[in-house]
Amino acid sequence: MAQNESAAHATDGTDREATAPADGKVAVVTGAGSGIGRAVARELIAAGWHVVLAGRRRETLDATADRVGRVGAEGPAVVPVPTDVTRPEDVDALFAAVRDRFGRLDLLFNNAGTFGRPGPLEELSYEDWRAVVDVNLTGAFLCAQAAFRTMKEQDPQGGRIINNGSISAHVPRPHSIAYTATKHAVTGLTKSLSLDGRPYRIACGQIDIGNAATEMTGRMQTGILQANGQTAVEPVMDAADVARTVRHMASLPLEANVQFATVMATNMPYIGRG
């Protein structure tokens, strides 16, 4: 299995010296080849986590591994595992690889997602609907289920799952029914995982993000349809600011949990009806 062996120095500006090690705890980050997943992988590595990077494209996972580097021969491992989260056999292979390599799993950042094709709902094709549901809901479920099974069976028992929801888990954008419906469904996943995880020391929380500057939010920066029918450029924030929040959620003892956290560009249209 591929493993990044690059040098200890941080080329990304991350201050590794200032962070306490996570004692070699093991995390899986899905959607780790870009955007928020890449930023979270970077934060976790900086905090001393071993991080398994999942996503469909090998080259972007490798690029993430190259950027986050490795903290010396004894430092955290960065392990890319190409995975399509919509394929049960891929998800099984991902978590089997984690167990083979590390013997346990402490954190899943369940992040892989897609916005889908925007457009009027009466024109949405079945295939476009399914494509969003398959990644955002079924993929998130498959990864959470595999993580849950691993965390329940391992000794010491337990772990944490952090689902990536959205402001769209609360309110829709125009022409986004598949994205909005699946992100509301992620809230249901989070609540069920939290309840069903109690007997096994499995904590589950959700981060709801608004307008982090990534590939997915390119339209916010050029102009996106608003509820009043106008098109407007919206404020964005740095994905690194999201990643620091995930790192905090991940760092808590299993007896404590951030159940829901909303991190958004301060002036984006959400609070105050626009």
Q: Are 137 and 186 spatial neighbours (Cβ–Cβ below 8 Å)?
A: yes
Strands (E), 121-272: 159-164, 202-210, 224-225, 231-232, 260-264
Determine which residue in the list 105, 107, 112, 189 makes contact with ligand NAP, applying CB under 6 A.
112
The amino acid present at 154, given as its one-letter code, is Q
Determine which residue in the list 10, 16, 56, 257 makes contact with ligand NAP, applying CB under 6 A.
56
Q: What is the dihedral of CA 167, 171, 174, 175, to 10 degrees?
A: 80
Determine which residue in the list 14, 26, 29, 37 makes contact with ligand NAP, applying CB under 6 A.
37
Give the footprint of ligand NAP on residues 179-238 (CB under 6 A).
209-212, 214-217
Contacts of 201 by beta carbon, 8 Å cutoff, 6+ apart: 151, 156, 157, 158, 159, 254
How many CA atoms lie less than 13 Å away from 266 in the CB half-sphere?
1
Q: Is 80 in the site for ligand NAP (CB under 6 A)?
A: no
- Please count the residues of this chain forming the interface with ligand NAP, following the rule CB under 6 A: 31
Task: Compute the distance between CA of residue 119 and CA of residue 128 in angstroms, rounded to an integer.
Answer: 10
The amino acid present at 53, given as its one-letter code, is L
Q: Is 164 in the site for ligand NAP (CB under 6 A)?
A: yes
Q: Is 14 in the site for ligand NAP (CB under 6 A)?
A: no
Stretch that binds ligand NAP, among 4-12, 19-27, 52-60, 151-159 (CB under 6 A): 52-60
Q: Is 269 in the site for ligand NAP (CB under 6 A)?
A: no
Report in angstroms how near the CB of residue 143 gets to ligand NAP at its nearest. Answer: 9
179 is catalytic: yes
Question: Which residues lie near ligand NAP (CB under 6 A)?
Answer: 30-31, 33-37, 55-57, 60, 83-86, 111-114, 135, 139, 164, 166, 209-212, 214-217
Catalytic residue set? 179
